[in-house]
Amino acid sequence: MHRPRSIRPLSCLRPHGFSSFIHRDFHLAPPFLLDDYTPRYQLLSSIDASKKRSSSYAHLRNCNLCPRLCGVNRYERTGACLIGAETVTVNVIAPHFGEEPCVQGHSGSGSVFFSGCNLRCVFCQNHDIAHQKKGFNLTPEDLGEWYMKLQTLGNVHNINLITPEHVVPQVVLSILHARDLGLNIPIIYNTSAFNSLKSIELLDGLKDTTSKRLLKVDRYTEAAMESIKAMHAQVGDLCFTPDGIAKKGLLVRHLVMPGYETEGEEIMRSVAENVSRDVFVNIMEQYRPDAHVGKPKRPRRAARLKSGDKSETSELVRYPEINRPVSEREISAVRQSAEKAGLWRFCDPPRHDGFAL
């Protein structure tokens, strides 16, 4: 019987003193398994680090960090995100256990929830901090020292920067400062993907893992796909160390929206065809009506509705089309479309005691 080509004996066990031997097949580690890992920011030369510091200050003087391209000098005034240049506003810094198993592990992900956002999604699940400046102000140096506290006191697996698109220069400065203090765990750039390519370029060499929430907003799809492709070119597909913790690569999150499963299917096909069929995907089902969704319409508009104005919808609440939870059918449709497109690495619950690789 011929042995399948995909299975090759890598080692034979020859008990000492025996003329015969027992052989055992060993498989090469998959390309997504790392024996060891050094964070990318540790590999930056002092010259490259200096260049990134200079670029960070330049971006703040003529802000082009997202597709809005406000162009404001953030040392003098703010743009759409409402955040200036000297500090960032942070709502929470703490070990977090609400992420994917490969991200949070057993000690938690060192999450930094930034206040403010360059988007204004009507259904935002974190609207209480994203739509307003709410929290405490930190300089980049303060922020880097918090990373060290998360590493040394929290023993977290990574530093997880949540919604940092509008503070990329300060984030860059904070990572470089923390590196000088001894930071040695991966950096996750946990983004909505509404970035400019300039900000992705500024982050090159600093982040290790990138996580995206794909949203349906004006000009979002084009900007998001450009960002995803650029980030994949920088960090590749998601890879793990043997303990099941993600160390480098791309993780795409897609929040399934009620009534928008067709768009979700198109996104899955686009990721498979334009990025990689080996992208690690989390198809998220936790959408719920929030922020402005389901709120009563303004009195004047509601009065027109009651008077029979046919130019308006018959609903008396805002955004009625997404004012419900997502259904199992919609989630299943997106998942099936992803599999049909050739995607196969999903964030599913493990069928054993351990992590899903």
Strand, coil or helix: 66? coil
Phi first, then psi, for residue 142 (nearest 5°) are: -60, -45
Residue located via tokens 């938690």: 108
Write down the H helix ranges in the chain: 46-61, 101-104, 127-130, 140-152, 168-181, 197-203, 220-235, 261-274, 299-306, 328-340
CB 122, CB 72: distance < 8 Å: no
- Determine which helix (DSSP H) or strand (DSSP E) holds 276, and give its type and residue range: none
Residue type, 99: E
CA distance linking residue 181 with residue 184, whole number of Å? 9
Counting every residue, how long is the chain? 357
Report how far Cα 63 is from the mean position of its chain's Cα atoms. 22
Q: Please report, as a single letter, which amino acid is at residue 167.
A: V
**Which residue ranges make up the annotated binding site?**
117, 121, 124
Intra-chain end-to-end CA distance of the chain, in Å? 32
Q: Please, what sign has the CA dihedral across residues 349, 351, 355, 356? A: negative
CA distance linking residue 51 with residue 286, whole number of Å:
41
State phi, psi for 92 to the nearest 5 degrees.
-145, 140
Angle between helices 168-181 and 140-152 in degrees, nearest 10: 50
Amino acid type, 117: C
DSSP 8-class letter at 320: G
- How many whole angstroms separate alpha carbon 266 and alpha carbon 113? 30
Residue stretches of the annotated binding site for [4Fe-4S] cluster: 117, 121, 124
What is the four-CA torsion angle of 292, 251, 112, 70, rounded to 10 degrees?
-60
